[in-house]
Chains A and B, each alone.
Chain A
Amino acid sequence: MLRKQMADKSIKATAERTSLSPGRLFLRRFSRNRAAVTSAVILAVLYLSALLAGFIAPYAMDRQNRQAPFHQPIGIRWSDESGWSRRPFVHEYHSGKGITGYEKAAGKRYYVRLFVRGDRYKLLGLIPSDRHLFGVDAPGKVYLLGTDRFGRDIFSRVLYGAQISLSIGLVGIVITFFIGLTVGGISGYYGGTVDNLIMRFSELVMAFPSFYLILAIMAVLPTGMASSLRYLLMICVLSFIGWAGMARVIRGMVLSIRERDYVTAARSQGVSDWRIITRHLLPNTVSYVIVAITLSLPGYILGEVALSFLGMGIQEPMASWGNMLQAAQNIRVLTSYPWMLAPGAMIFITVLSFNLLGDGLRDALDPR
């Protein structure tokens, strides 16, 4: 295996130069994996743009343009019939004769400018502002990924949707791992009846047809519910299903670690159980946990997408990648306006990046 060879080489190199810390070793191995590094960069960019969605998006999430439903994507151009331009610009479009499509209005250029004033938003939810990274002067419009049924800019909505779709994974995984680590740690450390009870319960949770159950729970939530509350409940429901598998693995690891001498030593010195679990047992599972986090995060993102796609998750007018994809479900919309699939491509890129990153982390943390 190539990676094994590389790992062997790096171990030899370490022996020669002696003192390289494990962290250093990990970084070295990780940085050799181009796919994983690229994925990490992509994810960083995605999360950063989600954080700054208000600033980067040229329009507000719910800014409608009733004159331009299902507008095709407008490309930023450097040239047209009248020649090249030193500044990028977009053309103006008018609705055409047919049902679909907008025709380019000849001649007029709308230059793309940086830091323009536009819709009001709150940066990071705190700082009110109306400056946007880029935009064009009215009546020009810049729709990088086209518009939806209500003439809302899909590019902007993808960015706002990322706030929900990307954060759901992070929050969900934190909850799952908190429960999974605690329960798995307790179960593995104490063993006996406690262990037995916890394991039976986790089997019960795992035997549920989870997807249908989640659907049922989401379906009975009242429709008028505040979207932030709905969002939180959705995370809780997804995490509740996810913790069981995690707890079982942690339990298995703790079971073997607790027999080691240093744990016995700690116990004989009268260290409390809680401290042994949190300070001596769980830290040993860290490398597994890091990899598992990266590899199970996509599950939460996909869970949100599936639920919102079926209309049981995040509700309009809030944007999430799942409910944006739902709008493409209509066969006429899908075939005539394929840019409606853009959020799907974003989900794919995100999940792929997490999987590649997780794979790279595993190789770097645990080179076998």
Chain B
Amino acid sequence: MYRFIIRRVLSAIPLLIAITLVSFAIMQMAPGDFLTQMSLNPQISPQLIEKLRVTYGLDQPVYVRYLRWLWGVVRLDFGYSFAYHMPVIKLIAQRAAATLLLGLSSTIFAWGIAVPLGILAAVHRNSWIDRLTSILAFMGISVPTAFLALLAVFVAARTGWLPIGGMHHMSYEFMSPWQQFWDLLRHLVLPTLVLGIGMLAGLMRQVRSNLLETLRSDYVTTARAKGVSERVAVYRHAFGNAINPLITIFGYYIGDLLSGAALVEIVMAWPGLGRLMLDALSGKDIYLVMGSLVISSIMLISGNLLADILLAYSDPRIRYN
């Protein structure tokens, strides 16, 4: 097991290097750099710009800059953000925390609802509840995240029940810790719903079909033939085996979560990575873009690894050697 983990972590390194290479190359294709915009400002002298160019190393050839940057990354120095005037790593740490919080809350929301509903639909299949959940699931899978986020903002603005965006109230700094927590929770509700619904719908269908499949297998029939109650047949015998494959899906959703989160964050002014990335892209803030890409890749890779490890723990048939 440890061997497997170490091997996976090691194999992620060339992958990460490939990702950084590709993204560095892409950013080089961009016309102009961060200083081009500055040079349009008549208040800033060309001498100052030239000086900045040297300080930031923008006068060096591409490969020098890449290697320098890569060497920095190894020492956890992701460079400096031109626009925010702070180290990239600090900026990303703040924002990634917000994205992780949102991802975590919507994952909990989705699984918490999808699993019981999926079981219900499978146990009472072809009943009204099965049909209703199946219709809702199709709608949930199909609704575009951006549209749903806009709808949520619209409802929030019209009713005033929940904040329309952001992570904190303006007076957050002056609140007691308990109020702060409550405030954060209130701000978290809508983004969580919007981001979680697609995942919920997909998961629910999976839980349902997996459970149906398992309920049809021979060992469940045997258990039933021996006279165990339906409840025991479903929860004791079938449930565990039906849930197992879903753990791989958990890893698979992380990629979706990251891209979905970007849209939600932008519409709902959630100060996360996606928003940061978009701002960085439009500002040609190259090291910030690179940093975000690397961090999101690491999140993706470690999410998949986590899923594999969980699967190995929960399913005795799987052995990684």
A binds B: yes
Q: Could you tell me how many residues of chain A have their Cβ less than 8 Å away from some Cβ of chain B?
A: 43
Distance in Å from the Cβ of A336 to the closest Cβ of chain B? 10
Decide: A220 and B263 in contact? CB cutoff 8 A: no
| A209, A305, A359, most chain B CB atoms within 10 A | A209
Given known contacts A204-B15, A209-B258, A355-B141, A215 and B157 CB-to-CB distance under 8 angstroms:
no
B289 on interface, CB distance cutoff 8 Å: yes
Residues 285-315 of A, flagged 1 when their CB comes within 8 A of B and 0 if not, give 0000000000000100010011001111000
Decide: A207 and B15 in contact? CB cutoff 8 A: yes
| B126, B147, B267, most chain A CB atoms within 10 A | B147
Decide: B296 and A220 in contact? CB cutoff 8 A: no
Residues 105-137 of B, flagged 1 when their CB comes within 8 A of A and 0 if not, give 000000000000000000001100000000000
Contact partner of A219 (CB less than 8 A), chosen from B125, B157, B263, B282, is B282
Contact partner of A348 (CB less than 8 A), chosen from B144, B266, B297, is B144
Interface residues of B: mostly helix, strand, loop or mixed?
helix
Residues 282-314 of B, flagged 1 when their CB comes within 8 A of A and 0 if not, give 100000010011001101110010000000000
Which residues of A have CB within 8 Å of B139? Answer: 348, 352
Residues 318-338 of A, flagged 1 when their CB comes within 8 A of B and 0 if not, give 000010010011010011001
Residues 253-274 of B, flagged 1 when their CB comes within 8 A of A and 0 if not, give 0010011001100110000001
Q: How far is the CA of A211 from the CA of B258 in the complex (A)?
A: 8
Q: How far is the CA of A325 from the CA of B139 in the complex (A)?
A: 19
B182 on interface, CB distance cutoff 8 Å: no
Interface residues of A: mostly helix, strand, loop or mixed?
helix
Which residues of A have CB within 8 Å of B157? Answer: 331, 334-335
Which residues of B have CB within 8 Å of A57? Answer: none
Decide: B26 and A328 in contact? CB cutoff 8 A: no
A341 on interface, CB distance cutoff 8 Å: yes
Distance in Å from the Cβ of A329 to the closest Cβ of chain B? 6
Contact partner of B258 (CB less than 8 A), chosen from A212, A302, A329, is A212
Instruction: List 26 A-B residue pairs with CB atoms under 8 Å apart, sorted by A's residue number.
Output: A1-B125, A207-B15, A208-B297, A209-B297, A210-B259, A212-B274, A212-B277, A212-B293, A213-B293, A215-B281, A216-B23, A216-B293, A220-B30, A222-B31, A298-B142, A305-B144, A305-B146, A306-B144, A306-B263, A309-B263, A331-B157, A334-B154, A341-B154, A345-B147, A352-B138, A356-B138
